[in-house]
Structure 1
């Protein structure tokens, strides 16, 4: 960070830039930084692993030999639930940091929950933070939103096709 006449009173771990860098270093949140092919890989593995639970649960409701279409759709949708939760956690973590970087005022705690303070960002820090939001975080959030939309299309397609499945 650049030096200012008034030092930043926000504790290091609560400064939005440091929170952003912490997410970049995080094993879990770093997934969202990956381009689509690399982002799909762990999500696909999680989806496949989730079939170990979703398959037997769906088979208890729809016997695969008699209702194979409903079994497959129910299993696939049930296996998508953990993937959706992972995507939601990624989205919420990055969205929180995005909001903290984009705001001109930083809320922080000096020593506990009872002493909230506000700090007005100087123009150069606000500009830097908003550039990070525009060029780094918003594209990442857009990718995650696209994956949510894909899951929504899957579920909508399943609902619309349900009456026609064997």
Structure 2
């Protein structure tokens, strides 16, 4: 007797478990799965390289030799925007996979946009997918939320410092 997983009509690349694995193995999205130190280094890497754009923009408004504090705060805020863009991209990718894993019905396309189908997951697939969400995907989304919160806190502190400069 065949298991219901093996008769899944959803194309391989559209199966939620394979979408999850592809995201987990991808160069960019896998950053969110790294240990704390490696993840922090990747975020710092984005922030540091963002200064290639942020530095000249901040210097045009606040020359470093005249207003070093404003230059640093403005440049740091602009560089942080690049981090926000990267984090939003990561967050949206992981939310998409979470939603596909969580839903009991999978929408898929057999050959193009015009022939969408739905497949109801059997109970064992629903259970497996929800376990993956609970123990693998949710911690990633929590980490990203904490990073967003930390960036918001840093931005607020920077605004407060700006007020006193």
TM-score (normalizing by structure 2): 0.93
Partner of 2:102: 102
The answer as to whether partners of 2:16 and 2:101 remain within 8 angstroms in 1 is yes
Q: Distance in 1 between matches of 2:5 and 2:44?
A: 50
CA deviation profile, 1:78-100 (whole Å, cap 9, x unmatched)? 11121111111111111100110
Partner of 2:76: 76
Instruction: For residue 6 of structure 1, report the CA deviation from its aligned partner.
Output: 8.1
1:135-154 equivalences under 5 Å are 135-154=135-154
Partner of 2:118: 118
Q: Distance in 2 between matches of 1:138 and 1:64?
A: 42
Instruction: For residue 12 of structure 1, report the CA deviation from its aligned partner.
Output: 0.7
Flag structure 2 segments of 5+ consecutive residues without an equivalent.
none
1:20-59 equivalences under 5 Å are 20-59=20-59
Question: Is the partner of 2:32 in helix, strand or coil?
Answer: helix
Instruction: For residue 65 of structure 1, report the CA deviation from its aligned partner.
Output: 2.2
Measured on the aligned residues, the alpha-carbon RMSD in Å equals 1.5
- Does the C-alpha gap of structure 1 residues 10 and 64 become closer, same or farther in structure 2, counting only changes over 3 Å? same
Partner of 1:156: 156
The answer as to whether partners of 2:106 and 2:120 remain within 8 angstroms in 1 is yes
Flag structure 1 segments of 5+ consecutive residues without an equivalent.
none
Question: Is the partner of 1:117 in helix, strand or coil?
Answer: strand
**What is the total number of aligned residue pairs between the two structures?**
164
